[in-house]
């Protein structure tokens, strides 16, 4: 098989991978190995010309943009931080975004210690220290509110920042809110709802148009059945 006949789909392990599987299955594509037990980073499917590559979640847009993969599934949060914008169907940062897959849903929120009067601080025009790995989203959000912030870039254990005095607030993904409660934090503002998008390499869409369009159409048709 020629390399340009192969369709490569970039996924990350975890929730996005698990919730993409029913969509793939409904589209007639089945991944033949379990990423949790296989050491392989390239997984075959039941179609000889379709394969899945496993990459870090934050790297999915990069792989698709620069041609390491033809398509990928990535969270809106990751896409925005990559420079991909908000809208479906637009080309941004070298990516075509045809579908909101409505999977891996959560929300991006601001949280603080339960004893921190966030509303009063914002009203008084205080300069807040905000810890997050989503600096683009956080910066845009607070700028739109006219709130001055100092950003502290963190990559994990975000809840520790307010508890140790490193930051006044955090901006992070929230699903159930249980982790916040366990660490005596409260959600004070909801920035946006997050779900995962299908993204496509622009060049691949032209060179492999028929094959990629079939997958896009199959995903779209599968959405109601897979929800």
Question: Would you say residue 220 has pLDDT above 50?
Answer: yes
pLDDT, tens digit, 9 for 90 and up, residues 88-104: 455 556 789 999 999 99
Q: What is the pTM of this model?
A: 0.88
Q: Answer yes or no: CATH 3.65.10.10 is held by domain 106-194.
A: no
Q: Give the C-alpha separation, 183 to 79, whole Å.
A: 28
pLDDT, tens digit, 9 for 90 and up, residues 33-51: 988 888 899 999 999 999 9
Domain boundaries, the chain: 3-104+195-226, 106-194
pLDDT band per the 50, 70, 90 thresholds, residue 226: very low
Smallest CA-to-CA distance from 71 within 52, 85, 89 is with 52
Average model confidence (pLDDT) for the chain? 91
Sheet holding 91-92, edge to edge: 42-44, 50-54, 7-11, 71-75, 196-201, 95-100, 91-92
Q: Considering Cα of 87, then 55, then 34, then 213, what sign does the dihedral take?
A: positive
What is the structure's pLDDT at 70?
A: 97
What is the structure's pLDDT at 48?
A: 93
pLDDT band per the 50, 70, 90 thresholds, residue 87: very low
**Cα–Cα distance list, 108 to 124, 127, 158, 195 (Å):** 24, 21, 13, 10
Smallest CA-to-CA distance from 62 within 43, 85, 78 is with 78
* Topology, domain 3-104+195-226: D-Maltodextrin-Binding Protein; domain 2 (3.40.190)
pLDDT, tens digit, 9 for 90 and up, residues 112-128: 999 999 999 999 888 99
Smallest CA-to-CA distance from 132 within 82, 81, 87 is with 81
Smallest CA-to-CA distance from 61 within 219, 196, 151 is with 196
Segment 180-188 shows an average pLDDT of 96
Segment 139-155 shows an average pLDDT of 95
Q: Who contacts 117 (Cβ-Cβ below 8 Å, separation ≥6)?
A: none
Question: Would you say residue 66 has pLDDT above 80?
Answer: yes
Q: Give the C-alpha separation, 27 to 45, whole Å.
A: 12
């Amino acid at each position: 098989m020629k390399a340009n006949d192969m369709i490569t789909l970039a996924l990350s392990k975890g929730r996005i991978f698990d919730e993409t599987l029913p969509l793939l299955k409904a589209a007639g594509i089945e991944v033949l190995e379990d990423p949790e037990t296989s050491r392989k980073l390239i997984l075959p499917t039941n179609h000889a010309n379709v394969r899945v590559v496993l990459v870090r979640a934050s790297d999915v847009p990069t792989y698709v943009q620069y041609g390491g993969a033809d398509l990928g599934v990535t969270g809106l949060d990751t896409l925005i931080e990559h420079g991909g914008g908000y809208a479906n169907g637009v080309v941004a940062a070298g990516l075509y975004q045809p579908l909101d897959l409505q999977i891996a849903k959560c929300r991006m929120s601001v949280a603080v210690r339960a004893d921190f009067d966030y509303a009063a601080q914002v009203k008084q025009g205080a300069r807040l220290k905000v810890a997050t790995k989503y600096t683009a989203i956080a910066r845009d959000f607070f700028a739109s509110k006219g709130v001055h912030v100092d950003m502290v870039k963190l990559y994990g254990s975000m809840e520790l920042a307010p508890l140790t005095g490193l930051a006044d607030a955090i901006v992070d993904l929230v699903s159930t809110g249980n982790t916040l409660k366990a660490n005596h934090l409260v959600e004070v503002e909801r920035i946006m709802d997050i779900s995962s998008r299908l993204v496509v390499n622009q060049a691949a869409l032209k060179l492999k148009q028929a094959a990629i369009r079939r997958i896009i159409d199959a995903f779209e048709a599968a959405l109601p059945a897979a929800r």
